[in-house]
């Protein structure tokens, strides 16, 4: 029995030895066929370069795994990615004396590789320890040389039409030299390759960029820059990009970045309005001006607004003072940051506005004195980008018309009127002569024939010079003032377009001025740069005409005498008549002795009834009185018809007085006969 038991135990032990020996041979065979694998991605996201399946796999973009890797089905990679694992057998936990092949995937000392890396390292290996980075393009960048000063953060935004720079860093994290390595970066189809560092090439008809790195000593590294353009037609959304760092022995690491393509924020800068304003000297308010005057100062004001969602830091406003009347605009000054180039006649104003911000900038100008009346000035300002883009972003225009005054002036002297008072003068009779002690009016008529209002016309009359020391200032219009020290009358007034305005003042001649002296008065009328001289010469005469001042009869002209009450030369026959024209006298009526009296007319009662049938007695024409009433005497019926023939045809009755007496006696005789 004992020997039987021993035989059974021996058989059992032999079976166990065969089982364990076969297992060992199987494990050794599997280990001999194991290949190196890439390290797991440091993050657990189901994207490119991220660990998957829990078996050392890595999510890889595309539909096929690289050489030396096998796709793992049912893994948790995102759409468009494949979970790939290296073709090697995981190390056993059994302590055998045999060593594992170089396994980069075990460098992190995590499952499934539990054996620590030996001091000499498994194999040369490059790592992307800083991940893939993205930078804004720099104006100084050229192929092979890149300034990476401003980084776009992870998950940041890029825009359609924007140029960006990818930087793929690498470091030799092993203790062995990497003899040869390369970086492969397949750009997203929404990107267009622009250029890259030396040693990089892009495959034709694809976006795969291959950069040869060469040797990398332990602990050292660098980076590769690739510049790309986001297509203007790029679809908005996530922009994920991965690069693979590969060594000669096929150890590799992945480097990726995450961005988003979004609509580009823009500065929408508008010139809302351009105005011409007049700013009174010393004033704070401004007045819009559609008409301007030569020699005057105005402001061009620009109302600007940024209606975009980006600050407008790269824009300028330009105003070219040339053409369409702008040559008559002379730049004066600015209270902003505008500058003026005299050669090009261009005003340039930088514009910096935050989103939705409004701002007004301005510069002053003077309308040239050479600008003709009625000239139109059409001005147009434009906004441009500073980087030299020729296209106009916005513009605004303004048109003004030059309305210039055109003044002339004439000076006259007028006789003083009794109704005249200070500032209120009746100018009806112009004079060329004055006498002693006479008050008269100087008046300057200013005519404006231009389209513009003449504002601030200055009149100056200095009462000095030939004969004027005999003049004394009396009073003036309200727009004038008299300075006694300088004997100067100064006036300031405005004259409307197509109008005439008179400026007047009174003076008095001294009573000691000599006869025959000339009084020569000279004044000036000034508007802007235009100065007009106005003159008036008067003769002094001690012999004056009607209604002019006098002190004695000898000073009045012939036929006049000096009315000492009014001190005026008048006509003595009609002192109160200022025209010296006396009223006409009435013609005397004839005396009654020339008209026959009623007593000489026969009484009607004494005329016979037959009188109407009798013929009237003809009377000698020479004997009748010249008055027509003698013909109306009643016809005597009893006078013989021959009586007219008895009268002599000529004689003493031809004498008017005798004829009258004779006629009277004849009538008396007829009366006596009738009485009988």
- Under the banding of pLDDT at 50, 70 and 90, the label for residue 487 is very high
CA–CA distances in Å: residue 495 to residues 138, 143, 408, 458? 64, 73, 11, 11
pLDDT at 117: 56
Residue 315 CB contacts under 8 Å (≥ 6 apart), including other chains: 267, 269, 350, 351, 352, 383, 384, 385, 386, 393
Structure confidence at residue 662 as a pLDDT band (50, 70, 90): very low
| 95 three-state secondary structure | coil
Neighbours of 385 (CB within 10 A): 16
pLDDT at 636: 52
Mean pLDDT of 1-26: 66
| Cβ partners under 8 Å of residue 440, min gap 6 | 413, 414, 415, 416, 431, 434, 506, 507, 509
User: What is the predicted pLDDT for the residue at 518?
Assistant: 93
Q: How far is 362 from 302, CA to CA, in rounded Å?
A: 6
Per-residue pLDDT at 652:
45
Q: Cis check for the bond before 271: say yes or no (omega within 30 of 0).
A: no
Q: What is the average pLDDT score of the chain? A: 78
Distance (Å, whole) CA 326 – CA 182: 65
Buried b / exposed e across 137-157, counting CB within 10 Å, b at 16+?
Answer: beeebeeeebebeeebeeebe
The residue-averaged pLDDT of 527-537 equals 92
pLDDT one-digit tens code per residue, 356-407: 899 999 999 999 989 999 999 999 999 888 765 455 678 889 999 999 999 9
Distance separating alpha carbons of residues 598 and 627, to the nearest angstrom: 13
What is the residue-wise DSSP string for 444-462? EEEEE-SSS-EEEEEEEEE
Sign of the C-alpha dihedral, residues 233, 238, 241, 242? negative
Q: What is the pLDDT of residue 174?
A: 78
Confidence at residue 553, expressed as pLDDT on a 0 to 100 scale: 84
Report whether pLDDT(601) > 80: no
- Cα–Cα nearest to 513, from 472, 547, 483, 568: 472
Instruction: Write down the pLDDT at residue 85.
Output: 78
Domains in the chain (CATH in brackets) are 25-119 (no CATH), 126-262 (2.60.40.740), 269-402 (2.60.40.740), 407-542 (2.60.40.740), 625-676 (no CATH)
Q: How confident is the model at residue 556 (pLDDT cuts 50, 70, 90)?
A: confident
- Of the candidates 119, 254, 219, 125, the one whose C-alpha atom is nearest the C-alpha of residue 179 is 125
State the pLDDT at residue 105: 45
Tokens in use for 664?
């009277």
Token look-up 């031809």 returns: 654
Count, residues in the chain = 676
Radius of gyration over alpha carbons of the chain, in Å? 66
Compute CA distances 445 → 410, 411, 413, 426, whole Å.
5, 6, 11, 14
- The residue among 611 and 188 whose pLDDT is bigger is 188
Answer yes or no: pTM beyond 0.75.
Answer: no
DSSP per-residue letters across 595-647? S--GGGSPPGGGS-TTGGGSPPPP--GGGS-SSGGGGGSPPPSSS-TTHHHHS
* C-alpha pair distances (Å), 62 with each of 38, 84, 129, 206, 621: 17, 11, 24, 14, 163
Residue 513's pLDDT band, with cuts at 50, 70 and 90, is confident
Give the residue carrying structure tokens 């405005």: 494
Per-residue model confidence (pLDDT) at position 441: 97
């Amino acid at each position: 029995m004992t020997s039987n038991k021993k035989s059974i135990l021996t058989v059992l032990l032999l079976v166990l030895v065969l089982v364990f020996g076969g297992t060992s041979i199987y494990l050794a065979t599997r280990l001999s066929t194991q290949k190196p694998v890439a390290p797991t991605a440091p993050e657990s996201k189901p994207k490119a370069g991220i660990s998957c399946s829990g078996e050392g796999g890595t999510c890889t973009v595309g539909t096929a795994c690289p050489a030396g890797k096998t796709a793992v089905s049912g893994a948790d990679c995102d759409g468009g990615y494949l979970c790939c694992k290296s073709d090697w057998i995981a190390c056993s936990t059994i302590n055998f004396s045999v060593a594992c092949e170089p396994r980069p995937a075990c460098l992190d000392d995590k499952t499934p590789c539990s054996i620590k890396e030996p001091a000499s390292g498994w194999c040369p290996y490059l790592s992307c320890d800083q991940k893939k980075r993205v930078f804004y393009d720099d104006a100084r960048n050229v192929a092979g040389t890149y300034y990476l000063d401003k980084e776009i953060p992870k998950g940041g935004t890029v825009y359609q039409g924007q140029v960006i720079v990818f930087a793929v860093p690498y470091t030799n994290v092993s203790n062995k030299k990497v003899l040869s390595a390369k970086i492969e970066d397949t750009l997203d189809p929404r990107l267009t390759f622009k250029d890259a560092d030396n040693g990089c090439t892009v495959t034709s008809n694809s976006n795969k960029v291959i950069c040869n790195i060469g040797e990398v000593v332990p602990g050292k590294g660098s980076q590769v820059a690739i510049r790309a353009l986001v297509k203007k037609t790029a679809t908005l959304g996530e922009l994920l990009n991965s690069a693979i760092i590969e060594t000669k022995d096929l150890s590799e690491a992945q480097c990726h970045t995450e961005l988003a393509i979004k609509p580009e924020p823009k500065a929408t800068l508008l010139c809302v309005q351009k105005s011409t304003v007049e700013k009174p000297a010393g004033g704070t308010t401004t007045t819009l001006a559609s008409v301007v005057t030569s020699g005057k100062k105005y402001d061009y004001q620009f109302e600007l607004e940024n209606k975009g969602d980006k600050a407008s830091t790269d824009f300028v406003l330009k105003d070219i003072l040339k053409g369409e009347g702008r040559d008559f605009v002379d730049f004066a000054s600015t209270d902003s940051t505008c500058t003026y180039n005299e050669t090009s006649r261009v005003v340039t104003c930088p514009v910096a506005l935050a989103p939705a911000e409004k701002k007004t900038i301005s510069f002053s100008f003077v309308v040239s004195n050479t600008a003709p009346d009625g000239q139109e000035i059409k001005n147009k300002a434009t906004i441009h980008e500073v980087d030299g883009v020729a296209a106009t972003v916005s513009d605004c225009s303004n048109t003004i018309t030059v309305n210039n005054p055109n003044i002339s002036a004439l000076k006259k002297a007028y006789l003083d009127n009794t109704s005249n008072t200070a500032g209120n003068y009746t100018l009806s009779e112009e004079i060329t002569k004055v006498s002693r002690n006479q008050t008269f009016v100087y008046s300057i008529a200013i005519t404006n024939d231009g389209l513009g209002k003449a504002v601030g016309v200055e009149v100056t009359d200095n009462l000095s010079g030939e004969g004027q020391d005999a003049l004394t200032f009396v009073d003036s219009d309200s727009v004038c003032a008299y300075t006694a020290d300088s004997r100067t009358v100064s006036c300031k007034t405005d004259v409307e377009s197509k109008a005439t305005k008179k400026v007047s003042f009174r003076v008095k001649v001294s009573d000691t001025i000599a006869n025959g002296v000339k009084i020569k008065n000279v004044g000036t009328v000034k508007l802007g740069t235009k100065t007009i001289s106005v003159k008036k010469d008067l003769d002094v005469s001690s012999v004056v005409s009607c209604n002019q001042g006098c002190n004695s009869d000898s000073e009045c002209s012939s036929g006049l005498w000096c009315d000492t009450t009014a001190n005026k030369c008048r006509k003595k026959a009609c002192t109160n008549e200022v025209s010296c024209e006396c009223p006409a006298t009435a013609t005397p009526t004839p005396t009654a002795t020339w008209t026959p009296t009623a007593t000489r007319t026969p009484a009607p009662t004494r005329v016979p009834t037959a009188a109407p049938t009798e013929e009237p007695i003809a009377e000698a024409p020479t004997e009748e009185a010249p008055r027509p009433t003698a013909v109306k005497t009643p016809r005597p019926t009893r006078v013989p018809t021959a009586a007219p023939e008895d009268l002599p045809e000529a004689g003493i009755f031809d004498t008017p007085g005798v004829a009258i007496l004779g006629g009277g006696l004849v009538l008396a005789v007829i009366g006596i006969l009738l009485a009988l």
